[in-house]
Chain A
Amino acid sequence: MTKSFTEITPALKRRHAAEARFQWIGRVAIVIAIGFLITMVVSIAVIGAGALRQSHIALDVFLDPAEINAEEIKNADFGGVIKAALRTKFSDVTKRRDKRKLYGLVSSEAAYTLRDMVLRNPSLIGTTPKIWFIASDDIDIFFKSHNASGGGEETHRISSKEVAWINEFKKAGDIETRFNSRFFLSGDSREPELAGILSALAGSAFSLAVCFALSFPVGIMAAIYLEEFAPKNRWSDLIEVNINNLAAVPSIVFGLLGLAVLLNTFGLPRSSPLVGGIVLALMTLPTIIIASRAALRAVPPSIREAALGLGASQIQATFHHVAPLALPGMLTGAIVGMARALGETAPLLMIGMVAFIVDVPKSIVAPATALPVQIFLWADSPERAFLEKTCAAIIVLLTFLVVMNLAAVLLRRKFERRF
């Protein structure tokens, strides 16, 4: 009858091997999931990092008094002045096609840069100062990718002539990359080298402000009612089931609601952060209600009983004692909800927040877009240079999400009490 507990029979060996395999399957699954996450974030970050630097080209520009009338600086042809400067530098370029390529070295923004400079300092007229201009997108990408490796071959975007020009600038030290503050300080543009995320960020900020202002008070009030006052009956159950289901409704359906009701029935302004914020608020509401109810539930009944025992009414007990204790938890839920709303794209497409917005929106009714929508738009753009802008915008978006979620975690930790 006795058997050795150390004897490993073939059957036992097989069972232990199965056990080891089973554990490995779990480990591999986790590694795959986390590996995907890391691959995605790192590859986007690597590409996006390029957008932090922008190539600039220096030109000796002769501010010809014949072209620029000191009285009417605004009307002068600064584009022509820059073209002339390029022609002077590369006097061997004669063919029309080559000339067009040559003019394309600097961004179309260069003329405005020059104009503003002369407007600020009219005494420059007649001199030949050295001025740094933003390089155009293809030149920028080429220079940034080959700056480290030196040389550089022609590609289908950059001809051998352009490569030669760039090398000439390089020799003279007249081309360099600088921190791309423009990316953070300007709105969208058709030209990748000029495009920035400020207008989208402002749109997101306005939308989130509206979203928070609506969903937070309504959400916590609903939670307080359901947790503290609602009678246990069919109606309360119905509301509860309804909230749980609403949390799982596809976001695009909220967009359809916004389009049909807010835009077409109520006639609210299309593409505005107001409408975007309302739609996001409706989406976020269930999250906030569910989190707030959990926070209220975590407040021990002894607090309520103590207040009621002192003669407080149920409302006083709730608003003076229970709700303040639950507030950090509610706020945590709200921040998590806001973070989700910040990343939401689909419903905003439905209500027209996909517009091409150059100017930073000034109010919640001005046309605007949002950061994730900007990412969607740039991801769709054919220009190669928008790729790194898209990645950079994603990194900015992820940074905001990380900060918000960290804030939620810290808040929870700070106020977490063991009752």
Chain B
Amino acid sequence: MLSMNAIQDPVYRDEPAVEADQRDVQPVISANNVTVSYGDKVALSNVSLHAPANQVTSLIGPSGCGKTTFLRCLNRMNDLIDICRVEGEILVAGQDIYDPAVDVVSLRAHVGMVFQKANPFPKSIFDNVAYGLRIHEMTTSKTELQDRVEFSLKRAGLWDEVSDRLNDSGTSLSGGQQQRLCIARTIAVEPQVILMDEPCSALDPVATARIEELIDELRKKFTIIIVTHSMHQAARISQRTAFFHMGELVEHGETEQIFTTPKDTRTESYITGRIG
């Protein structure tokens, strides 16, 4: 366990990203027997899933299958819903995040989230990216803040498009740019895990392709869990895939295996387009 220094230390400066096989093989996220219910309604039952570091794990399945619910459990965004109850155990970097001693604020700083619809704050592009850095007081000087904003925008592949108009409102960007801005905002605080909830569902194919490239690039540095409604997208970008159906995790494993030799007939039906 390292302290805040690890975060404040500008790891991002020049070291090359660590490759997956060099890191410990222990999964960054492991969920064990997770059951989620809204009031009387069970939304997710008995899900166990492990997501290894520096890989993209896709969560697929027909709408209403519980994949977004699961995703929102991973940084406890479900806490915002009063009637939502989570049972079971979710470990992030080996820590049980539903332990009462866990501070959701520091959890969410380490497990960032990108949402279905791009939601830039009605602030300038710069302030959008600087937001997390400011609230977590991660920079000590103005130049450092500027550097980090620039670095994050570059990493999100947006810098070239916005470098001359950082003071424009974030909402003035196009849909794809807005979503990349949201990604830049998320990676600025250097989380370990990025959760993405159908980040491309509102975008055109060109913008989608750019985000997909970006996700592949980001995987070198972050662990990514992505909910997607598109099987093709899952096949294109992820190393691992989990198939959810009616609140159950039907099957999960290497993406290639899921798409070529699914073990469960329901997975096969979904992939071949018979359900969903």
Contact = CB atoms under 8 A, between A and B. Distances in A.
Query: Touching in the complex, A and B, CB below 8 A?
Result: yes
A5 B2 contact: no
Which of A2, A5, A11 has most chain B Cβ within 10 Å?
A5
Please tell me the size bucket of the interface on B: 20 to 34
Contacts of A245: none
A4 interface: yes
Contacts of B94: 2
For chain B, what secondary structure do more than half of its interface residues adopt (helix, strand, loop), or is it mixed? Answer: loop
Nearest to B138: A11
Nearest to B7: A3
A6 B3 contact: no
B192 A12 contact: no
Interface in A8-35: 8-9, 11-12, 15-16
A5 B3 contact: no
A304 B1 CA distance: 67
A12 B93 contact: no
A7 B106 contact: yes
B95 A4 contact: yes
A1 B7 CA distance: 7
Contacts of A6: 95, 99, 101-103
A365 B180 CA distance: 73
B228 to A, nearest CB: 27
B92 interface: yes
Contact of B192 (A1, A4, A7, A8): A1
A1 B93 CA distance: 10
B74 to A, nearest CB: 12
For chain A, what secondary structure do more than half of its interface residues adopt (helix, strand, loop), or is it mixed? Answer: loop
A199 to B, nearest CB: 55
A6 B6 CA distance: 16
A1 B106 contact: no
Interface residues of A, number: 13
B145 to A, nearest CB: 16
A5 B192 contact: no
Nearest to A19: B105
A4 B1 contact: yes
Contacts of A8: 103
A1 B107 CA distance: 13
B92 A3 contact: no
B97 interface: yes
A5 B4 contact: no
Interface string B219-256: 00000000000000000000000000000000000000
B28 to A, nearest CB: 9
Which of B94, B97, B101 has most chain A Cβ within 10 Å?
B101
A230 to B, nearest CB: 34
Nearest to B192: A1
A5 B137 contact: no
B206 to A, nearest CB: 34
A6 B106 CA distance: 8
A5 B93 CA distance: 10
A21 to B, nearest CB: 16
25 contacts: A1-B2, A1-B6, A1-B192, A2-B1, A2-B2, A2-B6, A2-B93, A3-B2, A3-B6, A3-B106, A4-B1, A5-B95, A5-B103, A5-B107, A6-B95, A6-B99, A7-B106, A9-B4, A11-B136, A11-B137, A12-B103, A12-B106, A15-B135, A16-B103, A16-B105
